[in-house]
Every structure is written in structure tokens, then in C-alpha cells.
Structure 1
Amino acid sequence: MKRAAVDTWQGLRMDAPTELAELEGRWLLPCRGMQVIQVQVSYQLTLLLDSGAHVDMEAEAMLSHGPLSAPDATMDRLVPERQEVAPALALFGATVLSSVAFKSGALGLVFDIGAHLSVKPDPQYEAWSAHGPGALLLVCLPGGDLAVWR
């Protein structure tokens, strides 16, 4: 597994894989350092990254601002199917610090603006998918299983 430089953010070690990396219980997606250049809304919420990669969310997501353990952290519920995603516009221009697909089906993205985006699996639908860079594709299948194509 190739890795870029090691950095820290809020005391967390951020090793950045330059390709998909499988660890116990999770996949590290190679999105670190990529910037959100477009936020698209339809029946899903899409974050288009500057590398041509994108993350599509069809299930409900949570967007928090500030440290997750802080008492004044704010949580915004995003519901793409109803276009209730306005708080996600704050991600425009943000840079991805960490992107993790858990083998339970959850997705977690951390951004340089102090925002955390999380999507849980849906029992009936594909909750999210991550495309790229290149031909890489991860899909959260109904119930939480992950399908991975490299």
C-alpha cells in the first residue's frame, strides 16, 4: 500500500493512502487532499471532487461541525430524497482529510473546515457509493454489505 505524507488533524494521525487500502473492519478511500468542487442535488446528494472522483448519497446522512465530542457541536440531518441538504453546501471548497468506508456499511468523511459527514447503511436501498479516482467503485448495498471494484 502506498502512503502519502503523515499529518495530524485535531490530534488524530492521518495516514493518507494514495490507493484503496483494506484494514480490519474498514477501507481507507484514496480521497485525502481532494477538494469538493461541486455539490449536486437530485434524488441523491453528490459531492464532486477535483480528481473526478465523487461520492453519491441516497440515504439520510449526518453533517456535524466542530469536534464531535464538543458540547457545542452542531448536527445537521441531510435527507437527499427530499432535497433537505442545504447544510451540505458548506462543503463546497472543503478539502477531504479522511475518508473511511466501514465494512458495516457506514461511510465517514472528515473535512478541513471541521465538518464530519457520516452515512449509515439502509436496510432496503443502496445508501451511498464512492466513485474514483479512476475505475474504483465502492457501493453500500442494502443492509450494509460493501461491494468493491478496483
Structure 2
Amino acid sequence: MNESAFAEHEDRWILGLRGLVVTKISVDYQLSLLLGSDAWVVLEGPCRLSQGPAARDGRQEMMDPGQQDVAAALALFGAKILSAVAFKTGTLRLVFDNGLHLDCGADPSFEAWQVTGPGDWRFVSMPGGDLAVWSGAEAAGGNETV
């Protein structure tokens, strides 16, 4: 995946994760997904895994990484990302080739999720619903760019 796959829009960022496969799932007080060999999605807040976009009529599972209640996430192992969007309101939406959609909203008190890589990109859902974005040398040094 190349860095040109990242694109900022008025209300969201398109993340350069398209085509990456979930190669590892880790659980502690977070749910961590390794994508390929150098990108991570780390979820710390409650999130929803659903079959299809609306999930009104389909399967829907709420997961809480802080309680290690994330068994439904095992269905993501080996799945390829079709779409990855970080909204500037602090919500993350991932769509996978197996039809599953993962949504994680912002939290009023803590960082609900973060995406690092590929390359030097880092996106963090900040407390209260803002999105922080770092790229290049700024990601290593911790200087906020958005």
C-alpha cells in the first residue's frame, strides 16, 4: 500500500488500508488487528461488528475490548479490507471482503481507537470526538498535524 492511498476530505480521511489482510488478532484490554505486516488497528472502546452496512436486518455484535468481549472479531482473521474511513468526528469504519463491517465511535473520556501505518501514518480518535492525524517524521516525534 502506498501513502498516496491516504486522502483527506472535508469530514473524513480515506485510510490507505485497502487490500490489506488481517494477519493477527490480539486481545488484552484492547482488540488489536495486524494488517499485512506493518499496519495496526487498535480498538479500546466498544465497537460494532455487523453483516452489511445497515445491519438493521442482519447480524450485529457489540464488542467491548475492555471486558475482553471480542469473540466475534475472530471472523475477521484472513479478511481483506475493502474500505477504511476515519471520520473527523472520531468514528472509524472498516469494511471487509467477507461482508463484515466494523464501526468504532469516539468516546467522551478516552482514546477509543487508533490506526498506525502503513508507513509513518497514525490516526487517533481523541477524547470527545476529534481526530488526530500524524504522518512522516511527525508520527515518530508526536507532533499533531490535524
TM-score (norm 2): 0.87
The residue that corresponds to 2:62 in the other structure is 77
Residue 46 (structure 1) aligned to one of 28, 32, 39: 32
SS in 1 for 2:5: coil
* Whole-Å separation in 2 of the counterparts to 1:108 and 1:35: 16
How far 1:19 moved relative to its partner? 3.0
The residue that corresponds to 2:49 in the other structure is 63
Provide runs of 4+ in structure 1 moved above 6 Å. none
| Post-superposition CA distance 1:95-132 (Å, at most 9, x none) | 00000000011000000000000000000000000000
**Is there any run of 5+ residues in structure 2 with no aligned partner, and where?**
136-146
Pair 1:134 & 2:119 matched: yes
The residue that corresponds to 1:33 in the other structure is 19
The residue that corresponds to 1:20 in the other structure is 6
Query: Structure 2 vs 1, CA of residues 126 and 69 (structure 1 numbering), >3 Å: closer, same or farther?
Result: closer
How far 1:17 moved relative to its partner? 7.6
Q: State the percentage of identical aligned residues.
A: 50
* Whole-Å separation in 2 of the counterparts to 1:148 and 1:87: 29
Residue 86 (structure 1) aligned to one of 71, 89, 95: 71
- Are the equivalent residues in 2 in contact too, given 1:21–1:28 (CA < 8 A)? yes
* Whole-Å separation in 1 of the counterparts to 2:62 and 2:53: 17
* Whole-Å separation in 2 of the counterparts to 1:50 and 1:141: 25
* Whole-Å separation in 1 of the counterparts to 2:50 and 2:3: 24
Which structure's residues are more often helix, by fraction? Answer: 2
The residue that corresponds to 1:104 in the other structure is 89
How far 1:134 moved relative to its partner? 1.0
How far 1:66 moved relative to its partner? 3.4
* Whole-Å separation in 1 of the counterparts to 2:80 and 2:69: 23
